[in-house]
Structure 1
Amino acid sequence: MNAADRLVAHVQDHGYDDLPDDVREAAKTFILDAVGVGIAGSRHPRMAQVHAALVALGAGAGRAGPGTATVWGSGETAPWESAVLLNAYQVFNQEFDCIHDRAVIHAMACLLPACMGYAQAHGGVSGRQLIAAVTLGLDVAIHVGLAQRAPMAFFRPAMCGALGATAAVAKLSGLDGTRMLDALGLAYSHLSGTMQAHVEGSAAVGMQVGFNARAAVTACALAACDFPGPHDFLQGRFGYFALFDFGQADWAAAEADVGRVFQIARMSHKPYPTGRATHGGIEGALRLAREHGFVAADVERVTVHASALVKRLVGRPARPDMDAGYARLCMAYAVATALQTGSVSLQDFQPAALRDPARLALAARVAVVDNGNPDPNAIGGPQAVEVLLRSGLRHTLRLEELLGHPSRPLPPSEQDRKFDRCCAFAARPLSAAQAHGLRTRLRRLEDCEDVASLPLQFHGETP
C-alpha cells in the first residue's frame, strides 16, 4: 500500500468513537485555540486589503444565507469558500496558531477554517464529526511533514495544511476512498507557497495558507462531482516527496505511527504571537531576568544558541521601517520586547511599539548563532540563551523543549486566558460574556449537534 492509500485508509477507517479520550480532549483544546487566534486575526491591518480584493472579485463579505459562512471576529458573512480563505489567513496572520514542533507545520490554520466553512455552509455536522475530521485530517498533514527530510524551500505549513484540510473536508462530506484520493490529488495539483515570503517578512506568508485552504475545499467540491485527480500524489515520479522534498523523504519512518499515534496530541501551543522559532529566545530571556533580577537597561547583549533553521527563519535584524509581519519573525525584536515589557503580546506589534527607539536599540544587541544541531528541520530544543549584563555578569539557560510543547503544556487556565485576550483583540471585540459563552461551547464541543449553531457571529464595537 503506497503512502497516499495508507493515509486515506486511516481517515476512512476511523471515527470519533475510535479516538482515545486524551486525543478528543486535545482536539477540543486546539480547535478552541485556532478559533481564538482566528478571531484576533480579524484585526490584522492587511484584512482591509484582503476584503477589498474579494469584493473586486465579486466574492466579498456581506451576503448572508445558504452557502455562506462567518468571517470570524468581523461580524460578517461571506460565500463559504471566501470565508475559508479569510479565516485561514486570520488564523495564521499573527503567528499565534498552534504548531507541531517536530514537523514544523501549523496545519490547523488550513484545517479548521475549511471544516468550519463546510459545516456552516452545509449544516448537519456535529461536534463529534468535527473533532474526528480535524484529528484525522491533521494526521494526514503531520505524517506527510514528518516524512520530509530536506530543509524547507517550499512553505510546508500551507502545503501540508492543504492536504490535511482536504482529507478533513472529504471526511465531513462523506466521500468514499476513491473520491478522497481524487480530492487529495486535486489539492496536490493546486498546492502553492515558498519560503520567499518568509525570507522577506511579507504578509504573503499567511496568505499562502489562505490560498491552500481554499484549494482544499475546491478540490473536495470537484471530487464530489466525480472529477478525477492523480492518486499517487505523494510517492509518484512527480509526486509531493519527489518535488517538494527533493526526493529525500523517508515515508517508512513516518508511516510507523499512522493509526498508532494521533498527532493532534503532539501539537504545541504558542504562548506568544510570534514565529515559533523566536520562542526559545523569549522564554530564556524572561526566565533569566526573573531568576537573576535584572531589567532591560542592565543588558549589554543577548545571544540565542539555536538550530540553523531558527537562525535562518528569525535571525534577521530589527529595522525601524519593519511592519508587524517582519517583526513577528525577528528574534531580536521579540527578545527586546520581552525584556522591555515582561512578555510579548498582540499589542506589541502595533505601530508605536514597532518604532520605539529604546526597543530597537536593545534589539540591535540580540543575536542568533547556529548551535550545530544536525537536524535541518529543528525548530524547538535544545536551545540556550546567554545574557551578558553591563556589569560583566553572564547568565545562561538551556531549554530542552519550548513552553507549549506537549512535554511542557500550557495550563488550561493559560489556554483560556489566551482565548479571552484574542477575543478582546478582534476587529469587533467580543464582550467577556460572549468570549466565555463561546469558550464554554467549544470546551463541550462533543455535545454540539450542529456546528453551524456555534455563536461565531458577533456584532461588537469597532475599536
Structure 2
Amino acid sequence: MDRRYTIICQCCRVNNSPSSSAESRDSCPTTERLVDKIMAFRDVALSADTLEKARIFLADTLAVGVAGRCEAVSDKVFSAAQGWSANGEGDVRILGRPDVRLSPHAAAVVNGTQIHCLEWDALHEPSVVIALCTTTAALISETETSDISLDETLRALVLGVETAVFFGAGSQTHPRFFRPSTAGLMGASVALAYLRKFTRTQMFDLLGLAYSQVSGTMQAHWEGSEVLPLQIGIAARAALTAADLAAAGICAPHDIIDGKFGYFSLIETASNLDAQFAQWAAPWKIEEVAHKPFPAGRATQATLTALIDLAAQNSFGMDDISSIKVHVPPLIMLLVGREYNPNMSAAYARLCMQFIAPMMIRDGRIDPRLFTSDHMASAQAEADAAKVRCTLDGNPDPNALSPQTIEIALNDGQVITQFVDIPYGSPGRPMDRADQIAKADFCFETAGYRGNAHALFEAIFAVSENISMRDVLDCVTN
C-alpha cells in the first residue's frame, strides 16, 4: 500500500494524538496550506470596508430568504422538514415565517431553500459561486442555538465566503456540479468551525467530513427542477453535520483538495492551486460579491440592466419589437439560453432569457409572484418568447458572465444596441443604500411579510458589541 495512505489510516486509529496529527498533515500538504490560512484568520483584523460588505450582503441574503417563502417549493420543503423535528418544533426560526421553529438541521434545509429558490441571492462573479446562501443558512441555525454576536457572525461569514470561493475558483471547464452547494458546503463548514473555535486537528477532520458529504449537480439546474434550491438546504444541513461529527472526534479523510480522489480531482478541475492560494484574502472575496437586483439568476442580469438603460433612453414596448438578440459568453448560453416551454417550472422560467427579457420590458421589473403556470403558459408569453434569441459571442472564457450585447429590432426597422460589461449590482456598478433597502422592501412585499426593511438594515449596521445575531434575526422572523 502507498505509505502516504497507510499513515492516514494509522492516524485514524490513534485518536488524533499530536504525533499522528503531524504525520497526517505531512501527508497532505495542500490541505495543510488551507488549514494554515483558516486558522490564521482568528488573528486577522478585517477592514471597515470588508465588514461593510459583509453587513450589506448579510442583509441582502436574509431579505431574499424571506422572499423565498412565496415560492411553492419552500412550503413543500417546510412541510417535510416539520417531520424531521421532534413534534415539529425546535429552537431555530425560519425566515419570513413568524411563530415557527424547527431543529437546527431541519431549519437549515428550509432556510437554505428559501434563500436560493428565487435566484435572487448574491454571487461572487469571478468564481461563479453563489457564495453566501449555504453559509448564511448554516449560520442561522448555529447562532439561534448559541449566544453569538453579530460581529463574530460577520467574521464567520467573511471566512465562509472566502473558503467557498477557494473551492469554486480556478476551474477551466463549465461547472458539472452546482457550485453554490458543493463549494458552499465547504465554506459553510469552515464558518461553523470558526464560531466553535475548532482546533487545528479538528479543522482537518471538519474539511474531510464536509467533503465526504459534497453533493449537488448541474442536472437540477439544467432541468429547472425544484431540487435546485433544495441542494442549498441540503448543503447547509451537511455543514452542521460535519461540524457536529468533527466535534465528536470523528476522523475523516484529510487529503481532500488535490488527493487521488480529492475535490480538484473529482468535483472541479483546477490548473493552478498555487494561484488560488495566492488570491486568498487578496482581497477578501466578500468585497467582490455582486447583488442580483432582479430575481432571475445572475446570468440574466446584464441583459436586464441593458433593458433598463434602453427604456430610459427610448420609448418602446414589447409590442413594438420584432426581435431581441442577446449575444452572450458560453456560460450564459448554458445557464439561460434555454428554449421557452409553456410547461416549464418556475425554476426553469427564472433561468430562461426568452421569458425573463419580455417580462422586464412589459412590467419594468421581475416579480416572483408572476411565475405561475397561467402566466408562464399564456399565449402572450409564448409570442413574446418567440422574439428572443441568445447567440454565442465567441468569448473563450468558460466561466465568463459578461460582457453581453443586446440588439433590439423594432417593427419600424430601427435597431437599438446596448453593450453591457458591468451589470447593475456588480462591485463596479453597485446598488446604493436606498436601492438595497428598496430591494429588501420588495422582498418582504413578495412574501407578504409584515417586517420592516429599514429595521433590518438598522440592526445589521448598528455599531455595538452588544448586538447579537438573534437581534438581527428578529427583523426577518417575527
What is the TM-score when the length of structure 2 is the normalising length? 0.90
Q: Which residue of 2 aligns with 1:49?
A: 76
Rounded to whole Å, the distance in 1 between the matches of 2:315 and 2:186 is: 47
Contact 1:73 1:457 in 2 (8 A): no
Rounded to whole Å, the distance in 2 between the matches of 1:5 and 1:129 is: 24
Contact 2:459 2:471 in 1 (8 A): no
AA at the equivalent of 1:423 = F
Q: Which residue of 2 aligns with 1:385?
A: 406
Q: Which residue of 1 aligns with 2:216?
A: 193
- The answer to whether structure 1 residue 402 and structure 2 residue 428 are counterparts is no
Rounded to whole Å, the distance in 2 between the matches of 1:74 and 1:124 is: 22
The structure number with the bigger radius of gyration is 2
Q: 1:106 aligns with which of 126, 130, 133?
A: 130
Over residues 33-69 of structure 1, what are the superposed CA-to-partner deviations in whole Å (9 max), with x where a residue is unaligned? 000000111221112221232234x3378424xxx21
Identical-residue share of aligned pairs (%): 32
- The answer to whether structure 1 residue 273 and structure 2 residue 299 are counterparts is no
Q: Which residue of 2 aligns with 1:63?
A: 89
- Alpha-carbon spacing, 1:161–1:60, altered in 2? closer, same or farther (3 Å): farther
In the TM superposition, what is the alpha-carbon distance from 1:362 to its structure 2 partner? 1.0
- Alpha-carbon spacing, 1:160–1:60, altered in 2? closer, same or farther (3 Å): farther
- The answer to whether structure 1 residue 79 and structure 2 residue 103 are counterparts is yes
Contact 2:189 2:242 in 1 (8 A): yes
- The answer to whether structure 1 residue 253 and structure 2 residue 275 are counterparts is yes
Contact 1:36 1:419 in 2 (8 A): yes
In the TM superposition, what is the alpha-carbon distance from 1:169 to its structure 2 partner? 0.4
AA at the equivalent of 1:412 = R
Contact 1:272 1:344 in 2 (8 A): yes
- Alpha-carbon spacing, 1:259–1:459, altered in 2? closer, same or farther (3 Å): closer
Summarize the alignment of residues 147-226 of structure 1 with structure 2, pairs less than 5 Å apart: 147-226=170-249
Q: Which residue of 1 aligns with 2:370?
A: 348
In the TM superposition, what is the alpha-carbon distance from 1:165 to its structure 2 partner? 0.1
- Alpha-carbon spacing, 1:60–1:31, altered in 2? closer, same or farther (3 Å): farther
Contact 1:118 1:169 in 2 (8 A): yes
Q: 1:429 aligns with which of 432, 446, 449?
A: 449
Over residues 368-404 of structure 1, what are the superposed CA-to-partner deviations in whole Å (9 max), with x where a residue is unaligned? 111111111112x211111111111111111112111
Rounded to whole Å, the distance in 1 between the matches of 2:375 and 2:461 is: 34
In the TM superposition, what is the alpha-carbon distance from 1:271 to its structure 2 partner? 0.5
Summarize the alignment of residues 229-378 of structure 1 with structure 2, pairs less than 5 Å apart: 229-245=252-268, 247-378=269-400
Q: Which residue of 2 aligns with 1:4?
A: 31
Over residues 287-314 of structure 1, what are the superposed CA-to-partner deviations in whole Å (9 max), with x where a residue is unaligned? 2233122211110000110111111111
Q: Which runs of 4+ in 1 moved over 6 A?
A: 457-460
Q: Which residue of 1 aligns with 2:119?
A: 95
In the TM superposition, what is the alpha-carbon distance from 1:448 to its structure 2 partner? 4.3
AA at the equivalent of 1:59 = S
What is the TM-score when the length of structure 1 is the normalising length? 0.93
- Alpha-carbon spacing, 1:242–1:357, altered in 2? closer, same or farther (3 Å): same
Rounded to whole Å, the distance in 1 between the matches of 2:143 and 2:472 is: 10
Contact 2:82 2:106 in 1 (8 A): no
Rounded to whole Å, the distance in 2 between the matches of 1:448 and 1:384 is: 49
- Alpha-carbon spacing, 1:234–1:445, altered in 2? closer, same or farther (3 Å): farther
Report the secondary structure of 1:230's partner residue. Answer: coil
Contact 1:300 1:365 in 2 (8 A): yes
Contact 2:137 2:233 in 1 (8 A): no
Number of aligned residues: 450
AA at the equivalent of 1:385 = I
AA at the equivalent of 1:116 = I
Which runs of no fewer than 5 residues in structure 1 stay unpaired? none
Rounded to whole Å, the distance in 2 between the matches of 1:351 and 1:444 is: 42
Rounded to whole Å, the distance in 2 between the matches of 1:14 and 1:287 is: 42
Rounded to whole Å, the distance in 2 between the matches of 1:338 and 1:61 is: 44
Contact 1:430 1:458 in 2 (8 A): no
In the TM superposition, what is the alpha-carbon distance from 1:421 to its structure 2 partner? 1.4
Contact 2:62 2:476 in 1 (8 A): no
Summarize the alignment of residues 410-429 of structure 1 with structure 2, pairs less than 5 Å apart: 410-426=431-447, 429=449
In the TM superposition, what is the alpha-carbon distance from 1:346 to its structure 2 partner? 2.4
Over residues 99-134 of structure 1, what are the superposed CA-to-partner deviations in whole Å (9 max), with x where a residue is unaligned? 01111111211001111210111x221111101110
Rounded to whole Å, the distance in 1 between the matches of 2:388 and 2:403 is: 19
RMSD (Å) for aligned C-alpha atoms: 1.9
Contact 1:28 1:445 in 2 (8 A): no
Q: Which stretch shifts more, 250-259 or 138-147?
A: 250-259
Contact 1:32 1:439 in 2 (8 A): yes
Q: Which residue of 1 aligns with 2:64?
A: 37
- The answer to whether structure 1 residue 444 and structure 2 residue 462 are counterparts is yes
AA at the equivalent of 1:250 = N
Rounded to whole Å, the distance in 1 between the matches of 2:87 and 2:128 is: 32
Over residues 323-371 of structure 1, what are the superposed CA-to-partner deviations in whole Å (9 max), with x where a residue is unaligned? 2111101011110101111222323324443234223311111011111
Rounded to whole Å, the distance in 1 between the matches of 2:465 and 2:445 is: 26
Report the secondary structure of 1:384's partner residue. Answer: strand
Report the secondary structure of 1:190's partner residue. Answer: coil
AA at the equivalent of 1:429 = Y
